[in-house]
Amino acid sequence: MNEFSPMMDIIESIPVPDCYLCGSKGSILYEGLSDAWCGAPGLWNLKRCLQPGCGLVWLDPMPSKKEIWKAYRFYFTHRDYAPQEVREIDLPNYLLIKAVKPFYKFFMHITGLRRFEKKWRRRGDSLFLDRGAPGRKLLDVGCGNGEFLARMRQQGWEVEGVEIDAKAIEWARAKHGLMVHQGPLERLQFPGDMFDAITMNHVIEHVHDPVLLLRECLRIQKPEGSLVVATPNVNSLAHRWFGRNWSNLDAPRHLRLFTRRNLKECAMRAGFRSVEVWCPPGYADGALLASVERVEWASGKRRGEFPKWLEASFLKIRAYFLLKGDEEAGEEVILMAGKDREGSLG
């Protein structure tokens, strides 16, 4: 099949009528979602499990394992080597943002939100892990261009990565001199009890069998080690606000979207016994602004950069205030898990 074959414009899909976790029939959440950013073919439906205590969201139909690669042909997760869109500078809106930003920063400072934000960003930069020590090994699954691993190596960890994208691997090796293995984690056959920490940052929503992936993490994690998983929070304020235009829906690449409760259930089914989950404010800026732009794309009405920045900033502030009374307002779900209930987390 050559690269111009009409079959390249079709992604083979499989029906997934039932919830992965509880087997219940799902109810349609959104129909006819398209890939606004990378042009993957097809229209996609998302379902939500209505069982109390579950709430998993998934694609039905879902791209098959054999053809899921087609959804990533023009997908760049690592901006260092991604082609950047050239856009004309909108000078009036640019100047408005420059003029208002000092007042925004002052408000963040006097309300204490800036300190709150810095605290969470500092912890989020290391995926909530402590500093490393000689001999402590960290594996990052889906390590991309290696920026996170390079940062963690500076904090004392001995680091390795796993990645599928050959271009990302090439970049990580050339720029950072990292040891990066290519392929799905389950096929790499690492020795058991090998790593003190395993991290997965926005990976689990892309895989067909999350519990299988977590089970392999359990096998190669040391008894006192930690697994840290970050994934979009389908109960976040941004999803409630933007609905089908929430950027983290990302059909057809995000196969499932999680809540605190059902991500914890996945880890427990994989065999983890010490599990904590929470929804930090994290890096909401990018997802909020991308969602604002998704609304613009869907409506066909172009807006200036200033009103889009203003809306995203307002929603970020609102999310920070809500976090004090709503534990699921944050943009991400973070899971930290250990093998034993007495095991060390962090």
Q: What is the CATH number of the domain that holds 195?
A: 3.40.50.150
- Residue 291, pLDDT score: 83
Examine residue 80 and state whether it is found in any structural domain, yes or no.
no
Examine residue 79 and state whether it is found in any structural domain, yes or no.
no
Mode of pairing for the β-strands spanning 195-201 and 26-33: unpaired
129 and 169: one domain? yes
- Residue 88, pLDDT score: 59
Site of tokens 């190596």: 153
pLDDT at residue 2 tops 90: no
Examine residue 61 and state whether it is found in any structural domain, yes or no.
yes
pLDDT at residue 4 tops 50: no
- Residue 322, pLDDT score: 65
Q: How much helix, strand and coil, in percent to the nearest 5, is found in the chain? A: 40, 20, 40
% of the chain residues with pLDDT over 70:
88
Examine residue 344 and state whether it is found in any structural domain, yes or no.
no
DSSP 187-217: HH-PPTT-EEEEEEES-GGG-S-HHHHHHHH
- Residues facing residue 278 across a β-bridge: 334
290 within 8 A of 297, measured Cβ to Cβ: no
- Closest by CA to 14, choosing from 34, 48, 51, 44, is 44
- Residue 83, pLDDT score: 45
19 and 146: one domain? no
- Residue 327, pLDDT score: 75
Which position has the higher pLDDT, 299 or 193?
Answer: 193
333 and 260: one domain? yes
Examine residue 1 and state whether it is found in any structural domain, yes or no.
no
- 337's torsion region: left (phi>0), alpha (psi -120 to 50) or beta? beta
170 and 276: one domain? yes
129 within 8 A of 346, measured Cβ to Cβ: yes
- Residue 116, pLDDT score: 78
215 and 106: one domain? yes
209 and 322: one domain? yes
pLDDT averaged over the chain? 87
pLDDT at residue 72 tops 80: yes
Examine residue 239 and state whether it is found in any structural domain, yes or no.
yes
13 and 121: one domain? no
111 and 67: one domain? no
Amino acid at 33: L
Examine residue 125 and state whether it is found in any structural domain, yes or no.
yes
Instruction: Say which range, 30-44, 115-129, 232-246, has the weakest mean pLDDT.
Output: 115-129
161 and 286: one domain? yes
Confidence of residue 6 (pLDDT cuts 50, 70, 90): very low
Site of tokens 């042909």: 73
For residues 268 and 289, give the distance between their C-alpha atoms in angstroms, rounded to a whole number.
Answer: 34
- pLDDT tens figures, 39-66: 899 999 999 999 988 999 999 999 999 9
100 and 29: one domain? no
Examine residue 167 and state whether it is found in any structural domain, yes or no.
yes
Instruction: Say which range, 61-75, 172-186, 220-234, has the weakest mean pLDDT.
Output: 61-75
Confidence of residue 191 (pLDDT cuts 50, 70, 90): very high
- pLDDT tens figures, 14-44: 999 999 999 999 999 999 999 977 889 999 9
161 and 188: one domain? yes
Q: How many domains does the chain have?
A: 2
Confidence of residue 82 (pLDDT cuts 50, 70, 90): very low
For residues 292 and 311, give the distance between their C-alpha atoms in angstroms, rounded to a whole number.
Answer: 8
User: What does the DSSP 8-state code read for residue 24?
Assistant: P
264 and 299: one domain? yes
- pLDDT tens figures, 270-312: 999 999 999 886 566 677 778 888 888 777 778 888 888 888 8
- Domain encompassing residue 281: 91-338
